[in-house]
């Protein structure tokens, strides 16, 4: 009986304990990072960057919430990618060839995903420049209507005849916004 407990303890104190520690640290980093991002975005949402009557607090809060969501998703993806690679190394998997293969696959996906990257970059610049937001009345391409949602890749607009249009941000080259106040 004593010999079996010793074997179980020896086995558990190796790779399984390391894996449990990796997962615990990853969960802790995810929690702490998410809280830090939420606090920072709340400060930005409530900061008085543009004092006076032109300040649009609701728009600023929406932009901060969108940015916070993006940052949290990016943080979580990085944390779990690193944790997964550490767990795989605990199983004895040599990560050198995997990383090299990922580089080749990444280049191939990058070439194939140019439109997605263009859409996301256009979405980032659209958010940073505050071109339009949810509730704005806009005219883009052949569509005129109210913006229902704004994402990094796609903007949805409800046209005057009730049709919901999904527009890729990378395809929006010119937009008219009737809701933004005159400066």
CB 123 within 8 A of CB 137: no
Residue 164's pLDDT is 95
Burial of 20 (0-12, 13-18, 19+ CB in 10 A): exposed
Residue 28's pLDDT is 96
User: Does the global pTM surpass 0.85?
Assistant: no
pLDDT, averaged in runs of 10, over the chain (183 residues)? 68 79 95 94 78 64 78 90 89 81 78 83 83 87 89 90 93 86 66
What is the helix (H) or strand (E) element at residue 103, kind and residue range? Answer: helix 95-112
Report the candidate in 177, 176, 124, 128 with the shortest Cα–Cα distance to residue 152. Answer: 124
Coil, strand, or helix at residue 27?
A: helix
């Amino acid at each position: 009986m004593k010999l079996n407990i010793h074997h179980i303890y020896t086995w558990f104190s190796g790779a399984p304990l390391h894996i449990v520690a990796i997962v615990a640290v990853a969960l802790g980093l995810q929690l702490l990072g998410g809280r830090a991002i939420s606090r920072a975005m709340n400060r930005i949402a409530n900061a008085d960057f543009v004092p006076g009557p032109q300040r649009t607090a609701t728009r600023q809060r929406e932009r901060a919430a969108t940015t916070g969501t993006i940052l949290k998703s990016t943080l979580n993806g990085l944390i779990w990618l690193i944790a997964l690679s550490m767990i795989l190394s605990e199983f004895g998997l040599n990560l050198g060839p995997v990383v090299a293969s990922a580089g080749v696959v990444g280049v191939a996906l990058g070439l194939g995903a140019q439109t997605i990257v263009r859409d996301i970059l256009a979405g980032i610049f659209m958010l940073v420049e505050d071109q339009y937001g949810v509730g704005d009345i806009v005219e883009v391409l052949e569509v005129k209507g109210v913006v229902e949602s704004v994402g990094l890749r796609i903007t949805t607009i409800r046209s005057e005849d009730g049709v919901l249009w999904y527009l890729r941000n990378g395809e929006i080259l010119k937009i008219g916004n009737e809701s933004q106040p005159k400066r």
